[in-house]
Amino acid sequence: MNKKEFDIIKITIIFFLPLILIARIFYIQIWKQKDLISYIDKQISYKLEINIPRGDILDRNYKLLATSIEYSSVFVYSKEFLNYINSQNKSSADISILTSLCNISEEEIKKRCQKEKYFCLLDEISLEEVNKIKNIPGIEVKNFSKRIYIYDKIINHITGKIDKEGKAYSGVEKEFDNFLSMLKNKEITVYKGAGSKKYSIRLTDINDAIKLTEKEKNCSLVLTIDVELQKKIDKILKKYFDIFNPKRIICLVQNPVNGEILSANVLPYTETPFESPIASVLYEPGSTFKVFSLAVFLEENLVKKNTVVDCENGIFEYNKVKIRDVKPHKSLDVEGIIVYSSNIGMAKLYLKYSNPDRFFNYLNLFGFGALTAIELPYELRGYVPKVKDKGYSVVTPLMVSFGQGISVTPLQLVNGYSMIANGGELLQPYIVKYIIDGDEKVIYKGEKKVIRKILSKSTTDTIKEMLYKTVEYGSAKATYLKDTKICAKTGTAQKFDSEINIYSKTKYMMSCCGFFPMESPKYVVGIFVDEPAKGSLASEVAVPIFKEVVLEILGDYTGVKYAKKN
């Protein structure tokens, strides 16, 4: 090589090669930056999604009803896992723990690895157990949140449930989903350490990553329900369910002072409760409804307590429709109409009134035919007739006066009895006492809400006295207790058979609603027994259940234990 050629090479190395390198660097760092940055990110980091569990649901005494627990699924990257178990660095203890937890032999895992590049080895395993195997090369752990219902069946129509995809479909889970799952998950960037293998999960400690989000919590709900009372009433209902073999039994307990629902039991149970029967089952209430018709007539000063009515010895025909009483009476005063539950007596009281529009309007004001606005989805309004309705006749309001031709939910009826108990205030029933945020601060408090004041105290006091007399010597006398004045009314309502378009003579909804103590009511109890196989009257079916529930409440809340003979 002569001097000239050597100089050309030197000039090329000194001047042109750096220019080429600079151009290449410019191309990679500037021109192609957007295209390459995502590729670089994948090499030095990865995204880890951390579940933020749904908020808890608790009862009024902060006993846990529903919570979310973190579990893991175990996956296998076949190539890396096989390399590990075939290497001399393999830990026999690791493999032994893995096969024991997954209940599968090492040979079976190998066979799957030969057939599949990547597969799920175990669907569900606790975090404590997964920590024993998570560092095995080729093993990947994915965390997920599982919803646990501590008292599942006895209260799931209130708590509701979530489906396999984590979507709430019933109960307060659905109604307050925006609070319970306000924060669904958090994605964090985890940077890989030097020497990390492509498929190794040893890039970060999953538990350390979870700590990054433990301050971020969803809101929790505190319900008005007392789960201990719920459990005790559940046992009572099971006992009578076996005796009477009904289609369904519902028991509701409400505080008439502020509207709180203290207990809400339903039998039989359902695994997937799409609705709560307390607010989504409609029925004709029968004689338990008579107190509301009487409330209208008393409030309008149409009748007095001692007004006497001719009860026609048990059969009364009006506009070619026969109205009957279970037990015939020649005549009864207004108190006797309630105490002995006379359909004829109540129909004749309406005939003294004869103002259907005003009568039905009063019933609407009592909350019938309208949503109560309880915090549960799929609530039904029920039905109160209107004069303009198809099928309306002059007999319609007479039938409504004693609980036929009108439909209500158990919640509406119990809430109506609370109105009588508290002196005439229609309250909004509620089931959520508090909403608590992630910092354990109360951000919502359920409180007494008066929808309207309808009845005078003199009207409700008169009805209370009549309901106490009903317990003392009338249709609800089996509920009588020596030391506590109970007010109650029974109802044996024929169910309308739509197939034959008449009221059934074999299918009944039997109920008993009331409150105590009479002087200052603190508990309203409603028992609803749908189509019992045994028993012909509510006094035989619903009343014994009502009494046992009352005794349980008295024992739990007042410390007074009553002998069953009372």
118: Cβ contacts below 8 Å, ≥ 6 apart: 75, 76, 77, 78
480: Cβ contacts below 8 Å, ≥ 6 apart: 471, 472, 486, 566
Q: Which residue has the tokens 């600079």?
A: 22
What dihedral angle (degrees, nearest 10) is formed by the CA atoms of 328, 330, 333, 337? 10
List, for residues 462-490, the tens digit of each pLDDT value: 999 999 999 999 999 999 998 899 999 99
More confident site: 224 or 50: 224
Strand residue runs (E) in 446-486:
450-453
Alpha helices in 259-373 (DSSP H): 277-280, 290-299, 334-339, 343-353, 356-365
Q: What region, left, alpha or beta, does residue 327 occupy, with left being phi > 0 and alpha being psi -120 to 50 degrees?
A: beta
307: Cβ contacts below 8 Å, ≥ 6 apart: 333, 334, 349
Phi and psi (nearest 5°) for 144? Answer: -145, 160
Tell me if 183 sits within 8 A of 59, measured CB to CB.
no
Mean pLDDT of the chain: 88
Q: What is the pLDDT of residue 497?
A: 81
Tell me if 291 sits within 8 A of 363, measured CB to CB.
no
Give kind and range of the element (H or E) at residue 435: strand 432-436
d(CA 387, CA 394): 9
Chain region(s) in the chain for CATH 3.40.710.10? 227-558
d(CA 70, CA 146): 6
pLDDT interval class at 564 (50, 70, 90):
very low
Going 418 to 291 to 487 to 382, the CA torsion angle's sign is negative
Fold of 227-558: Beta-lactamase (3.40.710)
pLDDT interval class at 14 (50, 70, 90):
confident
pTM: 0.84
pLDDT interval class at 501 (50, 70, 90):
confident
Percent of the chain with pLDDT over 90: 67
Query: Has residue 258 got a pLDDT over 60?
Result: yes
Q: What is the pLDDT of residue 203?
A: 35
d(CA 537, CA 7): 120
Q: What is the pLDDT of residue 88?
A: 75
List, for residues 124-144, the tens digit of each pLDDT value: 888 888 888 888 888 888 888
Chain region(s) in the chain for CATH 3.90.1310.10? 48-223
Q: What is the pLDDT of residue 39?
A: 59
- The first and second tokens of residue 160, run together, are 């509701």
d(CA 503, CA 523): 33
Query: Has residue 187 got a pLDDT over 90?
Result: no
- Whether omega before 517 lies within 30 degrees of 0, making that bond cis, reads yes
List, for residues 108-129, the tens digit of each pLDDT value: 999 999 999 999 998 888 888 8
pLDDT interval class at 188 (50, 70, 90):
low
List C-alpha distances in Å: 203 to 6, 112, 215: 52, 25, 23
- The first and second tokens of residue 367, run together, are 């909350």
Q: Which residue has the tokens 């909804």?
A: 509
Q: What is the pLDDT of residue 481?
A: 92
Q: What is the pLDDT of residue 503?
A: 86
Tell me if 147 sits within 8 A of 68, measured CB to CB.
yes
d(CA 212, CA 47): 14
Average pLDDT in the 423-450 region? 96
List C-alpha distances in Å: 501 to 321, 420, 495, 504: 15, 34, 11, 9
The answer regarding whether domain 48-223 maps to CATH 3.40.50.300 reads: no
Tell me if 429 sits within 8 A of 309, measured CB to CB.
no
